[in-house]
Structure 1
């Protein structure tokens, strides 16, 4: 039976890369054993690469041979396989840490060759332990998404060119591997942020009593040394026992005293003048007033022109 030690780096990488592509496209069943097999092959290839020292800290990307350039993404592939391997909740946290570790290892390698400027930290600060990843601004996310889509189209086109040609040009292969490296840089950065958020959720689900924010400082209170005497008054006792907390004041008189005082104040007020008695019709006719006579005449004319019931056009038998 052939073991990983008997295979070359190219054979190990090609087999694991083919498995990863099929798993990502859901062309094969998502079994844990399949992920583990691909991880073992890539780790064996990683050990052989370390023995050969193919990648250096003081090289430029242009100095790496095209056939060796494709092994750049080996750490990113291992990180992806760890990320999607474990449906088991108990082993999920270990797989997440392994995935983040390999993604960071890949980004460090890319930084050594000037492909990445900043690398996220593996651990969060204590103050941000339960704070989810801060989202980037909208324009930055849109720009990254456009760049990633453009890389995917370019990679698909270059793969078709590599498959159709009888003899693949070295320039096409180099461009394909370079585009894959750039795509995995963005993918690794996105996955690291998502995995860190998942770690916080898993930790919080294990102990939901942990506070999401930092506790505030408690107010210092003076200690009470020895016995003490309660000093109170009659008004305070009434407010606490009868009036309740925050009662504005205690009553100053009884209900009977209130009504006696009200009657006394009303008796002291002067009596209003009597209203004049209304005048009868005869008395009104005797009034010698031009305005009154004119009003009476107008009313008589109105009654002559509008007899009683003239406006009622309905309910007539």
Structure 2
């Protein structure tokens, strides 16, 4: 086996492992009885988001998806990774410690990216909803327009409700078949396709809810202002979108002007600067995978983030001391190993 084949095999194993771990957390969050805003659930949400973001990066590195392919050309096992934006969007909406405006904006990008990918691959033929313009959202409509809109919305909801019920019944049957150790490829493919269609309907519902919530948040911000103007804001949420190269970056960026989409190289370089990935080597994918596997202490990262958001004096002091230390001790100054 060549080195490239070995690295590719390692990438597939690592991606599947990270994705499966994230899905276990996701299912626990979705089916749990504990309040979403409780600290344990919020920690689980952030941990799951982190894992799905790592999975998204590995999918980008693998070059798994291409706009030149059809759904039939995709290997069965890769179909589940088309769900990544929808899963990230669903989890993002559950975040309680972030600005709600940031939360719905990022979730909106994820859901629309998911719908566009599903449309590109022929999973669905739905039109991807466009974000409502502020001027259009406040433009008064006459009674005929209002009635027509209500009828169309009501019919769409009824049809989607019927479709979702049928899909859930089908998923329940396919899930039982998937639990068999001898499940065949056709059954797997039908299961993943049905799952994608189910999330298409969920994404449409979530986008509709976001559009209804957006003007409320704008109204509150306009009349109430910032609740705590002197408090340091948490870092702005930024979505992680699957992208392979600069061309795709331009394409996706054109669809979402405010989205800071990164190419694989830019994403990797940013992680190096953040100290999460090692400096560039001869084999970026393999090194990235090793780092992703080693970086398992998500709960500790979430805990530190929550301390900062809550203005914990000890954690803030620790970070200030660390920043001062980094200013006075640049990386590599103390490393004399293998240096002539």
Classify the TM-score, shorter chain: 0.5 to 0.7
> 1:72 maps to which residue?
82
| Larger proportion of helix | 2
> 1:148 maps to which residue?
164
SS of residue matched to 1:116: coil
From 222, 226, 230, the equivalent of 1:207 is 222
User: Highest Rg: 1 or 2?
Assistant: 1
Q: Compared with structure 1, are the counterparts of its residues 185 and 208 closer, same or farther at alpha carbon in structure 2 (3 Å cutoff)?
A: same
> 1:111 maps to which residue?
119
Distance 1:129 1:7 in 2: 50
> 1:194 maps to which residue?
209
Give the deviation of 1:63 after TM superposition: 0.8
Q: Compared with structure 1, are the counterparts of its residues 116 and 84 closer, same or farther at alpha carbon in structure 2 (3 Å cutoff)?
A: farther
SS of residue matched to 1:207: helix
Give the deviation of 1:94 after TM superposition: 0.9
From 17, 22, 30, the equivalent of 1:16 is 22
SS of residue matched to 2:99: helix
> 2:65 maps to which residue?
55
Distance 1:82 1:37 in 2: 11
> 1:91 maps to which residue?
99
Superposed CA offset, 1:3-46 (max 9, x none): xx997111111111121122111256632211111011001110
What is the TM-score normalised by the length of structure 2? Answer: 0.55
Distance 2:35 2:161 in 1: 29
Q: Does 1:179 align with 2:189?
A: no
Tell me the matched-pair count: 203
Superposed CA offset, 1:170-223 (max 9, x none): 1111111000000111111110110121121111122249xxxxxxxxxxxxxx
Q: Compared with structure 1, are the counterparts of its residues 72 and 6 closer, same or farther at alpha carbon in structure 2 (3 Å cutoff)?
A: closer
Would you identify which runs of 4 or more consecutive aligned residues in structure 1 move more than 6 Å?
A: 130-133
SS of residue matched to 1:121: coil
The gaps in structure 2 that reach 5 residues or longer are: 1-10, 225-340
Q: Compared with structure 1, are the counterparts of its residues 117 and 140 closer, same or farther at alpha carbon in structure 2 (3 Å cutoff)?
A: closer
Give the deviation of 1:130 after TM superposition: 8.0
What is the TM-score normalised by the length of structure 1? Answer: 0.59
Q: Compared with structure 1, are the counterparts of its residues 15 and 204 closer, same or farther at alpha carbon in structure 2 (3 Å cutoff)?
A: same
Distance 1:159 1:40 in 2: 26
Answer with 175-184 or 15-24: which moved more.
Answer: 15-24
Distance 1:143 1:167 in 2: 35
The CA RMSD over aligned residues, in Å, is 2.7
Give the deviation of 1:116 after TM superposition: 2.9
Distance 1:197 1:143 in 2: 20
SS of residue matched to 2:64: coil
Superposed CA offset, 1:109-130 (max 9, x none): 1121122341111352423158
Distance 1:68 1:109 in 2: 14
> 1:139 maps to which residue?
155
Superposed CA offset, 1:46-96 (max 9, x none): 01111111111121111111100111111100000001222x4x6211111
Q: Quick check: 1:22–1:28 contact (8 Å CA) kept in 2? A: no
Q: Does 1:121 align with 2:127?
A: no
Q: Name the structure, 1 or 2, with higher relative contact order (CA <8 Å, separation 6+).
A: 2
